[in-house]
Structures are given as structure tokens and as C-alpha cells.
Amino acid sequence: MKYPKDGRFGEFGGKYIPETLVPAIEELEENYLKFKNDSSFKKELDYYLRVYAGRPTPLYYAKNLSEKIGGAKIYLKREDLLHGGAHKINNTLGQAILAKRMNKKRIIAETGAGQHGVATAMACASLGMKSEVYMGYKDTIRQKLNVYRMNMLGSKVHPVKSGSMTLKDAINDAIRDWITNVETTYYLLGSAVGPHPYPVMVRDFQSVIGKEIKAQMKKINNKAPDCVIACVGGGSNAIGTFYPLVDTSAEIIGVEAAGHGLKSKMHSATLSAGSKGVLHGMMTYLLQDKEGQITETHSISAGLDYPGVGPEHSYYKDTKRIKYHSATDKEVIEAFLTLTRTEGIIPALESSHAIAEAMKVARKGKKSESIVVTLSGRGDKDVEEVQNYLDGHVKD
Amino acid sequence: MSRIKEKFADLAAKNQRALISYIMVGFPNEKATIAAVQGLVDGGADIIELGFPFSDPLADGPVIQNASTVSLENGTTISKYFEIVKKIRKVTDIPLVMMTYTNILYHAGYTRFIADAKKAGIDGFILPDMSVEESREYIQAAKDSTDTIFLISPNTSKDRIQKISEASTGFLYLVAVFGTTGAKAGIKSYTLDAIRNVKRQTRGKIPVGIGFGVSTPEDVRTYVKAGADAVIVGSAYLKLIEKTPKDRLRSKIAEFTRSLKKQTVL
């Protein structure tokens, strides 16, 4: 789906928004369409991606991990090496440069694990703009290092104490702020979710991941990878990884957070266990009860703790081009420790979902096959959470 | 003719504007909802908006957010809500408008949900996150049965005002301020301009109601003078409900309603 003019990926997507936001969304789309193919915009973004963020990121053959499993070769797309420690900077630089060209002086954002908030704060600091970040109160506790980083980067963090006090509530409050300050404010959304054109715009900014994978694998194997895997919360690193590869023969797998298990109700596996609905401006798969109330989610990783998913993923689920699997908290911790110990790479808990799936797929694969996993972020932010989990399990 | 349309016709004949009063069903409980509705009727409200809680009310400020949470915690379900509407319908013929979010209708299926609502006694819907572009199925399902009341904002373009007023039946809901429900910013000159502008463009084809942050008799007077056909008061009612002992709720609501209604008589 190149550029969905009506904002729909099949039946998914659209613009379910309060009327006050319509002029802002129209202005955004108009400017995005104007600048996305503008050579000076592309040049500036490319410059920042290379020299500031550290692109291209390496594609690393995880030899120790692959040999330990004894199946297909596992390659890691090292988005964790980007400035800030996650893929989020690809999108925040793109949108912040766009916002600047739109003469917006005030930037707001939501964040789950804090990675998008940090990436927003960095992009804004480097481009000389003010930013404010909404973050669920629960997430400000479990990801407090990222709160400190945002503060130091000059961003104001608003802890959100409504609802489940996680990412979805942070988005609600960011939208409320936007409605209130619509004339001056740019909403820098962090995932491929929300009303059109956000899902397609965020995908385009993140597609640099998949484009590089394609070129790098061509160099290594002279063909596309046999399998590509990424974790899915809202789904921005995943859609950025997958989109440039959907027209190849690669098997594509998105991995959701199964938390305590899909039957436990303590999970965030929207595509695996959800139903269609409307939230945050889009029609997509959601976790909701029989009355259409959004249910509380759980994941050990704050970044995947979200009851919705990008509409393009919903489309690829229904068209069956992409498979969506899930990994439990327990599998994720195992994957986290395995990668850390075999390769000396500490992955984010979000990315560890993809690693867990890759280990399963590799086990069944042949040595001649190659799997690319997007390592969307580094795990420094998660070491306390993992330690707590391990301590808790020792006590059990 | 719909109850809402009839009401506006009656009021016009009497040289009055409409007072539309909003409460959240199940806040803080069913008994209070019934008492509040009685108070609204006693006090002379012309139309009642009955909020149905949604887990993620992104167009609402803190007061309605809190009321939604309380109502959901008290077990307000769709069937419970319709039961309450039926009880209200037994004692009054006042137009009743359901205010909630798109997903509640979408999830149940527009056609089924709207038919059930109509049967219970609902006359129209306000869905703050339903944009006119996405409304085809919703409008189709509501056609010839319930009114579809869309929102307009002070920053809505001329073309869109046209489109939205064509999609709306019953009345148009003009948002007074850039902000969420209950926003308190005083009377803005852009709001008064917006009322005049929307009135001029719609040329009396559909009544224009104004809401968001309207809380006092003075606010009501100002907007009526500026040309609004209806004035919508919501969060102020919820605040009153919250602080009033339950045995005095009906009379207190009636008293406040009377003070607002007085300002709509020309």
C-alpha cells in the first residue's frame, strides 16, 4: 500500500478525530506530501540520520547465538546502536525537521518505555525546539532512567495518572493537549498508529530499516532474507522493517507481547487476540471487552504495553502477508539473557520478543537459511526490571 | 418529525433558545442519574444529553473523564444504560441524546446499536471522535430513526461546515473553545465570531448549539445573545452532582437548571 490517499489500508486506518484536530491533520498531510519528496528536506534528514543518529546501522551475524541454536543463521539489525539506543530517532528526526519547516514552535509527544520521549527530546534539542512528553505514571516508575534523560535533555515530562497509566493513556492526554493547543503545537507521534497520515508517515520514516536490510542482505547472500522478524507494540520498528520487504519472498513475522500468556488476559497481543475497533483516531485491531471498552494490557516491556496496533499491520494480518506470533514474559527474559550472554549484546525487552521468536524459527531452519531480526533498542533501560523479575522468580 | 426537531420548533414559536443539559449515566450511581434527570425536567431543561462512559474519552476534560471512570467502575453496561433510558422515558417525553465514543457503536454494529437505542427512547447521538469522512455507515444506520449530531470547531473551514451541516440532523454542536469538555477559558471573541459565522452559513437550516466550558447563567446569556440556538452545559452539572447530598440532588439540579434556562428566554 504505497500511499493510501483515503488513509485506509484495506478497511483499516482512517481519521476518527475530534473536529478541532481536522485542520491540523490536514495541514500535516499537506506538508508531509510536500516535503517527503523535496530534495532539501531529504538531504537534511539524511544528514541527521547519518551524522547525528549513526546510520546506516550494521547487520550483525550473531554467530554464537546461531551456533548455539544449531539451525538457520541469525542476523541482527542493530538499531540498538543508534543515538539514544533505539529506532525511535529515525522517526523523531523526520517529524521534527518537518515540524520545523511547518514553523511549529512547540512539540508534544507520548511515550511508553520512554524511548520515543528521549528520541523526541534529543531531536528537539538538536533542532532548537521545545518539547513536552506525556508518559503513563506506571511507566515513569518502571522506566525512570528515561524520565531523567528527558529532563536533562530539556523536555518536560507529564506523568499521566488516568486509566491504566500506561502508553494508551499517555496518547489520550497528548491528544487532549493537542486539541487545546492546536494552533501552535505539533504532535510528534511515536508509532505507526493514530489518524491518517501518521501511520503512513511513521512507516516511511522507519522504512530506512528495511531498505538497509534489503541492501545489506543482497551484499551478503545476493538475495532477500528467508525470514524477517520484529516486535510489534504499536508496530513502528516492525512496519519499517517489513514494508520494504513485503514484495520479496521473505517470510515475515511480527511478534507481540503475550505477557503471562494469551489466555491470561494479562498480555498486549492485539493482533493475536483482539477484535476490530476504533481508538486513537484509527480503525484497527484492539484489545477490548464485549461492550467495546478498551481493556488493560500487560507486558514486561512498557513499549509494547498497548491495546491497539498500527492499521497497516491489521491489514497485513487479514491479507495473511505477515504472520503475527507472540512471546510470553518468561520467553522474553530467556531470550534477553541468552543474547546478552552469547553475544554480549543487551537487548531491550521489546526487542527480546523478536529474539525469542527468532530462536524458535532458527531451531527449525537450515544452516543455509538466514533470519534477520530487528534489534529495535538496547536494554540498558531494562536491567532493573529484569533483575526484579529474576529476584521475584528466585523468591518463588 | 424527531423529538429534537419538534422541540426546536416549539421553542422558536415561544421565542426561546434551548437549554441542553448533560449528565453521565451511572455517575455516581443509577439513583443519582434518575434524580438528576427529574431535577433537569423540573428546572426546565429542553433536551438532555445522557453520557455513556468510554474507557478512553479523549475529547473530555478531567471532570467527565472522572465521571466515566466512576460510572464504569459502578458497572454501567450498555444494557444497564438502556434500562435507565427506558425508565426515564416512562416519566418524560423530553428529547434524549446519547453522547459516547465511536467504538461503542462500531463494536456492537451501528445498525443493531442504533435500533436498540431508538427502542429504549434515545433520539440522537453525539460522537466526538466521529469525523464526517468516516460516518457513511453510521449515518446510513441512523437514517429516519435517530438524529446524527456532528461537531464543528471554531477552526472548521467553510467547506467543512457545509459538509458537516449536511450530515447533521437535530442540531449542530459547535465547540466553544480549543480544548476538551469543561475547559474554562472565559468567553473568547473567536467563539462569538464562530457562532455568527456558522449561523450565517447554515442560514437557519439547522439549529446551532454551543458547548464545552459553558457553566454559568452569564455564559448562557452571552452565547444566546450572540445567536446560538442552544446552549449545552455538562461538566458544571457533574461538579454539582458530586458535591450535593443525594436527598437534595433533585432540587439542587432543578434550581441550577432554572437559573440557566431563564437566560434562554428572549
Compute the distance between CA of residue A352 and CA of residue A338 in angstroms, rounded to an integer: 10
| Any B CB within 8 A of A8 CB | no
| Any B CB within 8 A of A64 CB | no
Q: Please give, rounded to a whole number of angstroms, the shortest distance from the CA of B75 to a CA of chain A.
A: 12
Q: Report CA-CA distances (Å) from A305 to A136, A139, A172, A234, A298.
A: 11, 10, 15, 9, 6
Q: Which residues of B touch A181 (CB under 8 A)?
A: 178
| Any B CB within 8 A of A166 CB | no
Give the DSSP H/E element, type plus range, for residue A339.
helix A329-343
* B38: nearest Cα among B90, B116, B97: B90
Q: Which residues of A touch B106 (CB under 8 A)?
A: 276-278, 283, 292
Q: Report CA-CA distances (Å) from A174 to A62, A147, A182.
A: 39, 17, 11
CB A253 within 8 A of CB A361: yes
Number of H helices, E strands in chain A: 16, 14
* B22: nearest Cα among B103, B97, B104: B97
Task: Convert the pLDDT of each residue in A324-370 to its tens digit.
Answer: 999 999 999 999 999 999 999 999 999 999 999 999 999 999 999 99
B46 in catalytic set: no
Q: Please give, rounded to a whole number of angstroms, the shortest distance from the CA of B258 to a CA of chain A.
A: 31
CB–CB of A294 and B103 under 8 A?
Answer: yes
Q: Which residues of B touch A14 (CB under 8 A)?
A: 133-134
Q: Which of A106, A293, A295, A297 to mutate to test the interface with B (most CBs of B within 10 A)?
A: A293
Predicted local distance difference test score (pLDDT) of residue A302? 87
Residue A142 scores a pLDDT above 90: no
Q: A158 phi and psi, to 5 degrees?
A: -105, 110
Domains and CATH numbers, chain B: 3-257 (3.20.20.70)
CB–CB of A176 and B69 under 8 A?
Answer: no
CB atoms within 10 A of CB A51: 9
Q: Return the C-alpha cell found at B169.
A: 440532523
DSSP strand E in A2-48: where? 8-9, 12-13
CB–CB of B130 and A16 under 8 A?
Answer: yes
Given the cut 0.90, state whether the ipTM is greater than it: yes
Q: Please give, rounded to a whole number of angstroms, the shortest distance from the CA of A153 to a CA of chain B.
A: 28
Predicted local distance difference test score (pLDDT) of residue B91? 93
CB–CB of B77 and A280 under 8 A?
Answer: no
Q: Please give, rounded to a whole number of angstroms, the shortest distance from the CA of A379 to a CA of chain B.
A: 31
CB atoms within 10 A of CB A396: 5
Q: Report CA-CA distances (Å) from A360 to A145, A217, A220, A355, B219.
A: 32, 21, 23, 9, 64
Q: Is the peptide bond before B154 cis (omega within 30 degrees of 0)?
A: no
CB A133 within 8 A of CB A167: no
Residue type, B48: I
Compute the distance between CA of residue B167 and CA of residue B49 in angstroms, rounded to an integer: 20
Compute the distance between CA of residue B239 and CA of residue A151 in angstroms, rounded to an integer: 35
Q: Please give, rounded to a whole number of angstroms, the shortest distance from the CA of B118 to a CA of chain A.
A: 18
Number of H helices, E strands in chain B: 12, 9
Interface of B to A at Cβ within 8 Å reads: 54-59, 61, 65, 69, 72, 77-78, 101-108, 128-131, 133-134, 150-153, 155-157, 160, 164, 175, 178-180, 183
Q: Please give, rounded to a whole number of angstroms, the shortest distance from the CA of A186 to a CA of chain B.
A: 15
Least confident of A370-374, B107-111, B179-183, B195-199: B179-183
DSSP string, B12-61: HHTTBPEEEEEEETTSS-HHHHHHHHHHHHHHT-SEEEEE---S--TTB-
Point out the residues of A that are catalytic: 88, 110, 376
CB A377 within 8 A of CB A112: no
Among B10, B30, B46, B49, the active-site one is B49
Burial of A344 (0-12, 13-18, 19+ CB in 10 A): exposed
By Cβ distance, the residue of A16, A176, A280 closest to B134 is A16
Task: Convert the pLDDT of each residue in A22-40 to its tens digit.
Answer: 999 999 999 999 999 999 9
Predicted local distance difference test score (pLDDT) of residue A119? 98
CB atoms within 10 A of CB B227: 16
Q: Return the C-alpha cell found at A50.
A: 547519518
Q: At what angle do helices A329-343 and A349-364 cross, to 10 degrees?
A: 80
Q: Which residues of B touch A16 (CB under 8 A)?
A: 102, 129-131, 134
DSSP string, A110-179: EESSSHHHHHHHHHHHHHT-EEEEEEEHHHHHHTHHHHHHHHHTTPEEEEE-STTSSHHHHHHHHHHHHH
* A22: nearest Cα among B150, B69, B60, B224: B150
Q: Which of B131, B157, B184 to mutate to test the interface with A (most CBs of A within 10 A)?
A: B131
Percentage of chain A beyond pLDDT 70 is 99
Compute the distance between CA of residue A168 and CA of residue A188 in angstroms, rounded to an integer: 15
CB–CB of B134 and A15 under 8 A?
Answer: yes
By Cβ distance, the residue of B61, B65, B133 closest to A15 is B133
CB–CB of B178 and A20 under 8 A?
Answer: yes
Residue reference for cell 537450515:
A366
3-state class (DSSP) for residue A257: strand
Non-local CB neighbours of A261 within 8 Å, separated by 6+ positions: A267, A328
Residue A144 scores a pLDDT above 60: yes
CB atoms within 10 A of CB A384: 13
Task: Convert the pLDDT of each residue in A199-246 to its tens digit.
Answer: 999 999 999 999 999 999 999 999 999 999 999 999 999 999 999 999
Mean pLDDT, range B79-106, rounded to an integer:
97
Q: Which of B129, B138, B155, B162 to mutate to test the interface with A (most CBs of A within 10 A)?
A: B129
Task: Convert the pLDDT of each residue in A80-127 to its tens digit.
Answer: 999 999 999 999 999 999 999 999 989 999 999 899 999 999 999 999
Mean pLDDT, range B125-141, rounded to an integer:
98
Q: Which residues of A touch B178 (CB under 8 A)?
A: 20, 179-183
CB–CB of B56 and A286 under 8 A?
Answer: no
Q: Which of B69, B103, B153, B190 to mutate to test the interface with A (most CBs of A within 10 A)?
A: B103
Q: Are strands B18-24 and A370-375 parallel, antiparallel or unpaired?
A: unpaired
- CA-nearest residue to A283 within chain B is B103
Strand partners, A277: A284
Task: Convert the pLDDT of each residue in A329-341 to its tens digit.
Answer: 999 999 999 999 9
3-state class (DSSP) for residue A201: helix
pLDDT band, very low/low/confident/very high, at A396 (cuts 50, 70, 90): very low
Chain mean pLDDT for chain A: 96
